[in-house]
């Protein structure tokens, strides 16, 4: 199978594209899907579709897998979750056929991220845990840390903050050790969210600003918008509303530019909430309504739930209690569906299953190591025993050179040594004995 080439500048790739054909064209298109990941999900979809169209007349499962994996991410960004999952599961099928553990883990991670955006947290956690097991088996530290971060995000979403912090702490240690700055920023961002939820706002700002600084240095637009939104939320809690709106509008501008509709919903309803707190109810309702419209188009329960809650809060502050109650009922219905006891039990079951399996693997490794150690000790004991057989003083006859064994019997030296070691004997005559025993065969000219 043909590997895609390393990603290079997008302008160079775009200039190269018209002059390529066949697999070379697909390879360039695959590179473009990766290159445009942080720029535009729409362009990723455009190039990905072209690549898959060309591949219809040929076969290269590696390139197809690369393109489908990027399409899974791109469709996730624009809220086309059904198509995103189709691309993700097709990628998983191809990686299973190729027996490619690294790509299989990446596919599971992308599928998990799509499920998380859909509010299907137990399915997301299941994918993340499966991906984590693969990464641990191949000892991919960056991959392991990334999954710790993703699992931490799920724990935080379902209000298990202690476990979330534990996973984020594991991730941060690895990212710092490996100097993986982009992923370190994600973990800082997530820890900032946890501190915000526990009203430790100054700590929250500290972590969000660390994340923002890294993302701005790397030029990661999606990450920058997330950090801006989170900082805006913290300033709102601190009642610094002008600062809050400033950060929200900066985030919204980036999200509209890159087409991240999911993120734009959260920012729009955050703007609506902030306007409501400053008694600007017309602006508050306008932005919240815009966010709700996009959330309903995307049909994501978690987004709709948050928007219903925001609409209810705005209408309550406005004094429209009847409509506030209507939106609160919609919010409560979705909340009850998403966070049922069954879902919570499923989460705990997955977590316990992972920890148990990990412990079993550790015990099996320990057991196998003990078996290897016991075998090595046994071989060493036997070797030492053989050495001891030939050590010490050996009683040997001064005339015939036989050796007396421990039982008092005299043995030929060859028999004695052969029985007590791996040595074997072949017989010949030394020059002195030849002269003594067979003088007629000696060359007289010497």
Tokens of 102: 């690294």
Q: Is 410 helix (H, G, I), strand (E, B) or coil?
A: strand
Considering the domain boundaries, does residue 93 fall inside one? no
d(CA 123, CA 112): 7
**What phi and psi values does residue 104 have, to the nearest 5 degrees?**
-65, -45
Identify the pLDDT of residue 360: 58
Identify the pLDDT of residue 137: 87
d(CA 379, CA 290): 76
Task: Transcribe 81-115 into DSSP letters.
Answer: HHHHHHHHHHHHHHHHHHT-HHHHHHHHHHHHHHH
Structural domain count of the chain: 1
Identify the pLDDT of residue 368: 64
Considering the domain boundaries, does residue 130 fall inside one? no
Burial, 201: exposed, middle or buried (Cβ in 10 Å; 0-12, 13-18, 19+)?
middle
Count of other CB atoms within 10 angstroms of residue 7: 15
Residue identified by tokens 């977590």 is 351
Residue identified by tokens 């989460």 is 347
Contacts 24+ apart (CB under 8 A), 48-57: 48/74, 51/25, 51/26, 54/22, 54/25, 54/26, 54/29, 55/26
- Across 34-66, b (16+ Cβ under 10 Å) vs e yields bbbbbbbbebbbbbbebbbebbeeeebbbbbbb
Identify the pLDDT of residue 446: 42
Considering the domain boundaries, does residue 424 fall inside one? yes
Considering the domain boundaries, does residue 410 fall inside one? yes
Mean pLDDT by 10 residues, the chain (446 residues): 47 80 84 79 86 82 85 84 89 83 87 86 87 88 87 82 87 89 88 88 94 92 92 95 96 90 89 90 89 84 82 84 86 74 51 56 61 65 56 65 70 70 64 64 49
Count of other CB atoms within 10 angstroms of residue 225: 25
Considering the domain boundaries, does residue 321 fall inside one? no
Considering the domain boundaries, does residue 327 fall inside one? no
Range of the domain at 439: 393-446
Picking from 48, 59, 28, the residue whose alpha carbon sits closest to that of residue 88 is: 48
Identify the pLDDT of residue 5: 42
Considering the domain boundaries, does residue 31 fall inside one? no
Considering the domain boundaries, does residue 411 fall inside one? yes
Longest Cα–Cα distance in the chain: 132
d(CA 114, CA 152): 16
Identify the pLDDT of residue 4: 42
Tokens of 77: 């960004």
Identify the pLDDT of residue 382: 64
């Amino acid at each position: 199978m043909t590997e895609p080439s390393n990603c290079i500048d997008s302008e160079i790739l775009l200039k190269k594209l018209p002059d390529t054909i066949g697999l070379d064209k697909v390879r360039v298109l695959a590179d473009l899907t990766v290159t445009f990941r942080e720029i535009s999900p729409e362009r990723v979809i455009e190039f990905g579709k072209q690549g898959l169209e060309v591949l219809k007349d040929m076969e290269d499962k590696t390139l197809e897998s690369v393109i489908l994996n990027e399409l899974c991410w791109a469709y996730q960004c624009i809220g086309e979750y059904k198509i995103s999952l189709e691309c993700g599961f097709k990628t998983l099928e191809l990686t299973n056929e190729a027996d490619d553990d690294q790509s299989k883990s990446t596919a599971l991670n992308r599928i998990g991220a799509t499920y998380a955006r859909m509010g299907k947290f137990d399915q997301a956690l299941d994918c993340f845990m499966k991906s984590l097991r693969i990464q641990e088996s191949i000892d991919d530290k960056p991959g392991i840390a990334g999954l710790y971060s993703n699992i931490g995000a799920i724990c935080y979403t379902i209000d298990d903050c202690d476990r979330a912090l534990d996973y984020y702490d594991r991730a941060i240690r690895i990212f710092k050790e490996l100097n993986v700055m982009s992923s370190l920023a994600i973990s800082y961002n997530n820890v900032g969210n946890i501190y915000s939820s526990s009203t430790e706002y100054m700590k929250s700002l500290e972590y969000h600003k660390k994340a923002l600084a890294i993302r701005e240095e790397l030029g990661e637009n999606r990450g920058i918008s997330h950090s801006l939104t989170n900082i805006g939320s913290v300033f709102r809690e601190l009642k610094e509303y002008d600062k809050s709106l400033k950060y929200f509008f900066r985030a919204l501008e980036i999200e509209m530019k890159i087409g991240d509709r999911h993120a734009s919903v959260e920012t729009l309803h955050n703007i609506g909430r902030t306007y409501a707190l400053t008694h600007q109810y017309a602006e508050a309702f306008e932005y919240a309504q815009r966010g709700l419209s996009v959330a309903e188009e995307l049909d994501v329960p978690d987004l709709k739930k948050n928007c219903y809650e925001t609409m209810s809060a705005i209408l309550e502050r406005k004094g429209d209690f009847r409509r506030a109650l209507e939106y609160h009922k919609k919010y409560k219905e979705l909340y009850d569906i998403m966070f049922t006891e069954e879902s919570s039990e499923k989460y705990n079951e997955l977590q316990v299953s992972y920890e148990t399996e990990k412990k079993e693997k550790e015990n099996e490794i320990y057991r196998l190591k003990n078996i290897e150690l016991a075998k090595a000790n046994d071989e060493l004991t036997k070797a030492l025993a053989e050495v001891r057989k030939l050590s010490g003083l050996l009683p040997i006859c001064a005339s015939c050179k036989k050796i007396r064994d421990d039982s008092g019997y005299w043995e030929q030296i060859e028999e004695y040594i052969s029985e007590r070691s791996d040595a074997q004997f072949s017989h010949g005559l030394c020059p002195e004995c030849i002269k003594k025993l067979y003088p007629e065969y000696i060359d007289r000219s010497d």
